[in-house]
Amino acid sequence: MPISLPPPSEEAEAENTLAAIGEFGLIDRVTAGRVQPATTLLGPGDDAAVVAASDGRVVACTDVLVAGVHFRLDWSAPDQIGRKAAAANLADIAAMGAVPTALLVGLACPADTPVETLAGLADGLWAEAGSVGAGVVGGDVASSPTLVLSVTALGSLDGREAVTRAGARPGDVVALAGRVGWAAAGWAVLARGFRSPVAVVAAHRVPEPPYAAGPQAAKAGATAMIDVSDGLLADLGHVSRASGARIDVRSGALEIPARLRDIGRALGVDPLHWLLTGGEDHALAATFPGSPPEGWTEIGVVTDGEPAVLVDGRPYAGGPAGWDHFVR
Amino acid sequence: MPISLPPPSEEAEAENTLAAIGEFGLIDRVTAGRVQPATTLLGPGDDAAVVAASDGRVVACTDVLVAGVHFRLDWSAPDQIGRKAAAANLADIAAMGAVPTALLVGLACPADTPVETLAGLADGLWAEAGSVGAGVVGGDVASSPTLVLSVTALGSLDGREAVTRAGARPGDVVALAGRVGWAAAGWAVLARGFRSPVAVVAAHRVPEPPYAAGPQAAKAGATAMIDVSDGLLADLGHVSRASGARIDVRSGALEIPARLRDIGRALGVDPLHWLLTGGEDHALAATFPGSPPEGWTEIGVVTDGEPAVLVDGRPYAGGPAGWDHFVR
């Protein structure tokens, strides 16, 4: 039987907030004992960090996550939110064909945020960064009524050319690495007040981007690549417009997992819709002049014609193709 | 006489908000027509940017500004806020002895934020970055009840060693480049409802960090350096602790500008307090083994002893030495 502790006094609780330990206390707390990778030449604690950029170039991107918009503290544990914020950025680095080296974290949050919540966020950021050999090298924290997490990721192309969105050519094969639709199914489940099936809820909480597939695709000659964060059709739309070519997705090539089929049936949703329009799984989509490398699945072709993304030769009629943060 | 236009309809006003033009419309609006410096190898519009890091290293830092905390939209024009956000980061890069190359911008803001406000922010970010030869290479925007601006700056050491906070040695001279106390005086004026004197109000709205003094100090053999953002004593405290040495500031070496003396008299504040504890001017403080280079003013010495910052040999008794975002 667990020992029953008295509830903490109000004073003791207040001591566990950011207001009690302060900006510098928090920084000490979340940086102490972390082991930096070799690419971190100077880590947190100074005006700026110094990170190796061995081929004379650095890849960099920023992604912003807002409490209540991208995550909910009642749906996800703090470390899951940290992992998700890191993953969104690390996947963008991978989508250039690069290997992530470092994260910097801009955090705005209320002064009464529990230190445990912030320590959890930091743990998640570190865990996800560590999974690809990157470090958390710097950041800043400021007082705000809303919790906002702005993460910047740096990466290295190791001498390769960056794979942009603009290189898709008619005749190229369109291919996918990683999962699509899982996070969207998880969101649908959570939004209806359920906490299971665990697999899709977990996918919503912490994506599992196929990081290694990015550099792999670059080495295999990918002509264009993108991180699927807004939805497969929306993101292929970015490739289509940037490349000045049309993309035709073959829906039959998108295998619908039995799990998503079951959930779709239970919720009255066509699961294909989740695969085509759901973001946040951070799959990678790329175009190749020939067959894609191992681990990638062919899902369509690049054709001549005005930029557009078609599904089986027709405009997708199932609803909005993806996510815009401001237009509803 | 100006031509009198009818007031815009509610509908037309709504069209000028972020909700109306959307995330991608905003990105188009703020990136169109910008000229990138040569260090921007791939600019905005893809999953990530690519920036030159010619000596195989990149310097990186992040600073977060929150509406109502770091700036007020009724005190500052949007482009002034953009300049200030950029300056806070660019000064951190300079404080390492590096030259800024790029900014990335994480923006969280309400959907009904006027596009003009956001375009103004972007103009300010670009103007300040451009003043040091850097570009705005990427960013993200997300919906949030609070306007939060998280800026990441990148920079190049051009083959030099980074100047950290940890290298000050007993016998070194402490020197200052740039202004201190002006932004604090401006804040004091604005907080009392005044809009003048213009010089200090302008200093609060847009700092003028001595960017070139950072690399200059590095070349001149600076042993430690820091961006004065929390207040001179607080920031010298960081140098003192990191270096394991004591710093003694000579208050007589800090010339109090006549303007600050006048304002101090009017407001009943000792202007020296603004110079010693006011942040946000983004001066640079550094230690040198001998005389500092031109443009730097000697303001004290590094001595043996437990880490501490003294003023004229004694602990400063005028109040808190600087700013912590959460401890009041």
Q: Give the model confidence (pLDDT) of A56-102 as tens digits.
A: 999 999 999 999 888 888 889 999 999 999 999 999 999 999 999 99
Contact A326 B106 (CB under 8 A): no
Q: Would the pLDDT of A156 be above 70?
A: yes
Contact B142 A69 (CB under 8 A): yes
**Hey, which residues 70-109 in chain A have their CB within 8 Å of chain B?**
70, 92-93, 95-96, 98, 102, 104-108
Contacts 24+ apart (CB under 8 A), B111-116: B111/A326, B111/B17, B111/B18, B111/B19, B111/B143, B112/B17, B112/B18, B112/B19, B113/B17, B113/B18, B113/B147, B114/B16, B114/B17, B114/B18, B115/B16, B115/B17, B115/B18, B115/B20, B115/B21, B115/B26, B115/B29, B116/B16, B116/B78
B92 in a known ligand binding site = yes
Q: Which of A15-29, A91-105, A154-168, A287-301 has the lowest mean pLDDT?
A: A15-29
Out of A70, A227, A324, name the one closest to residue B22 (CB).
A324
Asked if the C-beta of A110 comes within 8 angstroms of chain B's C-beta atoms, the answer is no
Which of the two residues, A225 and B18, has the higher pLDDT score?
A: A225
**Arithmetic mean of pLDDT over chain A:** 91
Q: Would the pLDDT of A3 be above 80?
A: no
The three-point CA angle A283-A287-A292 to 5° equals 85
DSSP string, A7-36: PPPHHHHHHTBHHHHHHHHHHHHHHTTPPP
Average pLDDT over residues B48-55: 97
Question: How far A97 CA sits from the closest chain B CA (Å)?
Answer: 10
Taking only the tens place, the pLDDT of each residue in B204-240 is 999 999 999 999 999 999 999 999 999 999 999 999 9
Residue pairs between chains A and B whose CB atoms are closer than 8 Å: 258
Out of B24, B66, B102, name the one closest to residue A108 (CB).
B66
- In terms of average pLDDT, the best of A70-84, A305-319, B121-135, B188-202 is B121-135
Write down all domains in chain A, each with its CATH number in brackets: 20-156 (3.30.1330.10), 173-315 (3.90.650.10)
Q: Would the pLDDT of A322 be above 60?
A: no
Of B41, B270, B71, B86, the residue nearest B190 (C-alpha): B71
- A109 sits in the region (left: phi over 0; alpha: psi -120 to 50; else beta) called beta
Is residue A321 very low, low, confident or very high in pLDDT (cuts 50, 70, 90)?
A: low
Taking only the tens place, the pLDDT of each residue in A265-317 is 999 999 999 999 998 899 999 999 999 999 999 999 999 999 999 999 999 98
What number of residues does chain B have? Answer: 328
Contact B165 A47 (CB under 8 A): yes
pLDDT score recorded for residue B317:
82
Asked if the C-beta of B138 comes within 8 angstroms of chain A's C-beta atoms, the answer is yes
Q: Would the pLDDT of A7 be above 50?
A: no
pLDDT score recorded for residue B51:
98
Is residue B321 very low, low, confident or very high in pLDDT (cuts 50, 70, 90)?
A: low
pLDDT score recorded for residue B71:
87
A74 in a known ligand binding site = no
Of B114, B141, B142, B139, the residue nearest B126 (C-alpha): B139
Taking only the tens place, the pLDDT of each residue in A202-216 is 999 999 999 999 999
Out of A62, A108, A111, name the one closest to residue B105 (CB).
A62
Instruction: Please report the ipTM that was assigned to this predicted complex.
Output: 0.92
Q: Would the pLDDT of B10 be above 70?
A: no
% pLDDT > 70, chain B = 93
B-chain CB neighbours of A64 within 8 Å are: 106-108, 140-142, 150
pLDDT score recorded for residue A8:
42
Asked if the C-beta of B49 comes within 8 angstroms of chain A's C-beta atoms, the answer is yes
Average pLDDT over residues A232-256: 96
Is residue B322 very low, low, confident or very high in pLDDT (cuts 50, 70, 90)?
A: low
Average pLDDT over residues B157-162: 97
